[in-house]
Structure 1
Amino acid sequence: MLSYCTNVHPAEDLPGVLDQLDHFAVPIRERLGWDRLGLGIWLAAPVAAELAAEPASRRRLRAELTARGLAVVTMNAFPYGGFHDDVVKHRVFQPPWSDPARLRYTLDCVTVLSELLDEQAVYGSISTLPLGWREPWTSSRETRCAMALDELTRVLRTSEARAGRPIRLAVEPEPGSKLDNIAAAVDWLTGRVDPRFIGLCLDTCHLAVSFADPAAEVARIHAVGLDIVKVQLSAALELPDATDPHGRAALAGFSEPRYLHQVRERASDGTVHAIDDLPQAAAELPGVGTQRVHFHVPLHAEPTAPLVATTGVLRAALAAVTAVGPLPHLEVETYTWQVLPEPRGSTRVDVVAGTAAELDWANRTLDAVLAEERAAV
């Protein structure tokens, strides 16, 4: 089922979550003309804790979803809370998996998803952060992360035995984090986790920023017996030629104070230079290669030239994933509508129209990729 991630909405209490169903999710579904719409639901930690503690509230939320033609197969448990604060930046990586609060939050999400999981779902998925930001990092922190994931796995086994369907954790590599890319995540997870319950979330924006080859990375994951549990369909911002002064000026227009926008520049010899946020790009990158920015841009609308969106990486990743087995959960995750440069800064109506257009684009793209795969067989 194709879903969109509700972390695009700022609701951080249960009434707000219910409100966003009527003001965003239902209008999106109706605009698309779909009988059912998938939600990749995001709940801030206090809301997840409240729902986990109150079975009646979980049953009510499930009933409200069903009545509106909305279905849940996946959750996003990367942001802990405050995801629409004025400044988020590195705080989105807090608490790390070495902090017991991260385990408690994820366990609450397991309880909630077990109740909300759509009847047609083979499994449920929960995407999570790549352990934490890369610094500070110690061996004791690494040990605590491994212990927390072991405890989570024990709970996931019990949950599957009780419900008959697994809930699976999807670790999401992100540039600059402890698990900076797919290779780092595969190296860390292999031999440490039970692949039946813990795998990868492939975010195609993050994949593009790392300048990785989608087919090679999908093959890397499967070669060690891990699974891609979830794919987040997202596009990064690209400046093909960083020597272009107009392009550099256009890119600088995407610098904003809320979210972290990691930048990578690939030189002609293949060397990749890295910085942690877009405002540093002009001063700290060579400015001679191709630059890609962790800024989730709308899938259906190219940015103004000479900037482009990395939707080609998204298509290649989808093709690689469809070639190796059943589709994992697919989630459109463009959470940046409110911080796009003018004149694209959004209102409530813009988010409805834009998200519906993205879902339509993603659905048509998926159909085309699947048709190409069938033709190649």
Structure 2
Amino acid sequence: MEMVQFEAAGSFPLTYCANAHPARDLAEAEKVLREVVGPVLRGRLGAGVLCFGAWWPQDVVGELNAQATSEGDTSFPHRDLCLSLRLAPRSLNAFPMNRFHGEPVKERVYEPDWGSPARLSYTLDCAALQAEILRAFGIPSGVISTLPLGFRGRDRKARPKPEQRDNLVRLALGLAAIEQRTGVRIQVALEPEPWCLLESMGDTLSWLEGEAAPQAARVGAEAVLRRHLGICLDLCHAAVVGEDPILGLRLALERGWQVPKVQLSSALVAGNAAGLEALRAKAEPIYLHQTWLSTGRQGPFLDLDDPMLHAFALAEGEELRSHVHTPLHLEREGPLRSTQDQVLAFLRCVQAGEIPEGTVLEIETYTTPRMDAELAFVCEALGLGSENPPIS
């Protein structure tokens, strides 16, 4: 495949999400862009205009808004930096609205949920800033991933709320106004995640068709909703809940819903007693590691420190799949295997032309800042920068 296909304006913009790198403010985020993200991407993807997967927590968005409004039409320093670096934020992660490193995050990552006006305001601010920067590059579209409505609750009893639906319809109308003003189409993509209100592609399609689309139709905005609201497919999340991501993507497209971003990510799987013990040892204080048993005999488990998870043994043929974002290039980690095979299967579909052009391919392994090996794995799998044939 030609390298140009993976540049920011190419058929399959390839990047990684900058949420792998802690940054306390805009100055630190820009330093990471100059000194880490840019060199890593350039080392594999060349000198063209490349896509970078931005992550702007709300305090950084506040700084960017101050720049964009105080400098007037002639200058927007962050936009100008992106132009000088030839790095375009074609993809933006607006799932974590607040800080994501250095302190316990757990279920706080889902706050505020889509029932909150603050979530709507933040996401529209992200979209307006992204559109302004992409317009300067002449790139006509961008994608923002967001949380799948909200957290299901520790007891798993929470259900989608009308105010979440209504705010996403308002979001679509706001994105349409941004497109009219800037000429840049921004799509916000719901990212199904285990233990959230929308855990799978199936959940998401059911909610879109049963709740969001009918509400949008009532206010004459169903076409607007379908143009600006889509789905972000995270391969790790799909693996945990036991969903075939390729079939899920095809089903979404068949039903007229777009999947503008795919997050290339691996989960960890335990298939025996040694693996189960190794997986339990992955419990830590920062992130949730939602865990599913392949047979559904027990669980699901909210986290690896769940007492129930420590009180059972795997039966013959069972697997325990956990939301532990694992480096893509690792097939195994001791007695644990990764779901790398699922990532490779998806990349074969990219090579075969089965994925719609314009889909952003974003490496999303926020648990490691060493993204050079991740990017190298994907590039080599796609036959980029190598005389070796593509994956088979």
TM-score (norm 2): 0.82
2:152–2:158 Cα contact (<8 Å) kept: no
Q: Give the AA of the match of 1:309.
A: S
CA, structure 1 residues 125+33, in 2 after alignment: closer, same or farther (shift >3 Å)? closer
Q: How far does residue 320 in structure 1 lie from its aligned partner after superposition?
A: 4.7
Q: 1:265 and 2:278 equivalent? A: no
1:52 counterpart residue number: 65
The whole-number CA distance in structure 2 between the counterparts of 1:210 and 1:82 is: 26
The whole-number CA distance in structure 1 between the counterparts of 2:311 and 2:229 is: 37
Q: What SS does structure 2 have at the residue aligned with 1:82?
A: coil
1:361 counterpart residue number: 377
2:221 counterpart residue number: none
Q: 1:22 and 2:30 equivalent? A: no
2:127 counterpart residue number: 110
The whole-number CA distance in structure 1 between the counterparts of 2:133 and 2:42 is: 22
The whole-number CA distance in structure 1 between the counterparts of 2:139 and 2:263 is: 18
Q: What SS does structure 1 have at the residue aligned with 2:300?
A: strand
Q: How far does residue 114 in structure 1 lie from its aligned partner after superposition?
A: 0.8
Q: Would you say how many aligned residue pairs link Structure 1 and Structure 2?
A: 350
2:278–2:336 Cα contact (<8 Å) kept: yes
Q: 1:232 and 2:248 equivalent? A: no
Percent identity, please. 35
The whole-number CA distance in structure 1 between the counterparts of 2:289 and 2:277 is: 16
CA, structure 1 residues 40+282, in 2 after alignment: closer, same or farther (shift >3 Å)? same
Q: How far does residue 272 in structure 1 lie from its aligned partner after superposition?
A: 7.2
Alignment of 1:177-188 (within 5 A): 177-188=196-207
CA, structure 1 residues 375+97, in 2 after alignment: closer, same or farther (shift >3 Å)? closer
1:282 counterpart residue number: 309
TM-score (norm 1): 0.85
The whole-number CA distance in structure 2 between the counterparts of 1:137 and 1:283 is: 23
1:263–1:277 Cα contact (<8 Å) kept: yes
1:77 counterpart residue number: 94
Counterpart of 1:249 (choices 277, 295, 301) is: 277
The whole-number CA distance in structure 1 between the counterparts of 2:128 and 2:347 is: 30
Counterpart of 2:152 (choices 130, 134, 138) is: 134
1:88 counterpart residue number: 105
Q: What SS does structure 2 have at the residue aligned with 1:54?
A: helix
1:130–1:178 Cα contact (<8 Å) kept: yes
Alignment of 1:131-170 (within 5 A): 131-135=149-153, 142-170=161-189
Q: Which moved more, 1:71-80 or 1:280-289?
A: 280-289
1:273–1:285 Cα contact (<8 Å) kept: no
1:229–1:328 Cα contact (<8 Å) kept: yes
Q: Give the AA of the match of 1:98.
A: G
The whole-number CA distance in structure 1 between the counterparts of 2:349 and 2:200 is: 17
Q: How far does residue 287 in structure 1 lie from its aligned partner after superposition?
A: 2.4
Q: Give the AA of the match of 2:90.
A: V
Q: Give the AA of the match of 1:294.
A: H
Q: Give the AA of the match of 1:134.
A: R
Q: How far does residue 271 in structure 1 lie from its aligned partner after superposition?
A: 5.6
Q: 1:97 and 2:128 equivalent? A: no
Q: How far does residue 188 in structure 1 lie from its aligned partner after superposition?
A: 0.5
Q: How far does residue 94 in structure 1 lie from its aligned partner after superposition?
A: 0.5
CA, structure 1 residues 32+317, in 2 after alignment: closer, same or farther (shift >3 Å)? closer
Alignment of 1:324-363 (within 5 A): 324-337=355-368, 351=369, 354-363=370-379
2:56 counterpart residue number: 43
1:274–1:285 Cα contact (<8 Å) kept: no
Q: How far does residue 278 in structure 1 lie from its aligned partner after superposition?
A: 1.1
2:276–2:320 Cα contact (<8 Å) kept: no
The whole-number CA distance in structure 2 between the counterparts of 1:306 and 1:166 is: 45
Q: Which runs of 5+ in 1 are unaligned?
A: 338-350, 369-373
Q: Which moved more, 1:30-39 or 1:271-280?
A: 30-39
